[in-house]
Copies of this chain bind each other. A is one copy, B any other.
Amino acid sequence: MGMSEATEQAAPKTKRPTRAHRREEILAAATRVFGSKGYHQGSLVDVAAQVGITHAGVLHHFGSKDKLLWEVLEYRDRVDVQHLEGKHIPGGMDLFRHLVTTARLNADRRGIVQAYAVLTGESVTDGHPASSWVAHRFSVLRGEISQAVLELATERDVRLPDGEAERAAGSVIALMDGLQLQWLLDPDAVDLAEATRFAIESILTATLGSTVEITGS
């Protein structure tokens, strides 16, 4: 298998859907299917039907169901970061503003929230293909958020007990995930954006020892 020489990076537009485009369609469909039925219950036939091909066609592009899931998870990350103008995660108070904003947006993106909730829940089953992804994601988020907490503490000349920032970070993540679950099951019982803002403010206020308010982004 000789390696071909470097090809141009710019993708030429063709009549037939390009490989990249078709893959994106399938990824979007898979996100919907895994979101509404879960990974195990959502079948490749379901995914394929949504893009008008057969399940073997999906496998042609992704090789196996597990690999498809992996790419779906990466795809979600990519889309998630996309709407972030700066293209990088903000720090300090901006991070928490961003979290609340995301919650507000999520209230109109039920499918994405559901996919995330379902896959996260499923991921704690034995040997689930998404478990390491979710665990890694939690770990990264805890790091970023605890960093932001530390920044706020420094700004306000507050000295935090050992591990307090990490604890607060874990709590904030837990809050958001848990609220999403309740909201998915009963959208009228929980105001996703408002509850998220309230809860994050509570955690920060208690952690920093002085009132914290998260103003509209």
Contacts and interface: CB of A to CB of B under 8 A. Distances in A.
Interface of A: 36-38, 40-41, 114, 117-118, 120-126, 131, 134-135, 138-139, 142, 167-168, 170-171, 173-179, 181-182, 184-186, 189-190, 194-195, 198-199, 201-203, 205-207
A135 B198 contact: no
A173 B184 contact: no
Contacts of A139: 186, 189
Given A171-B175, A189-B138, A189-B142, A184 B36 contact: no
Given A134-B185, A139-B189, 20 more contacts: A36-B125, A37-B126, A40-B41, A41-B125, A114-B124, A117-B121, A124-B185, A138-B182, A142-B182, A167-B195, A168-B198, A174-B177, A174-B181, A174-B182, A174-B195, A176-B178, A178-B178, A201-B206, A202-B203, A202-B205
Q: Which of A171, A175, A194 has the most CB of B within 10 A?
A: A171
Contacts of A182: 138, 142, 170, 173-174
Contacts of A121: 117-118, 120-122, 124, 181
Contacts of A171: 175, 179, 195, 198-199, 202
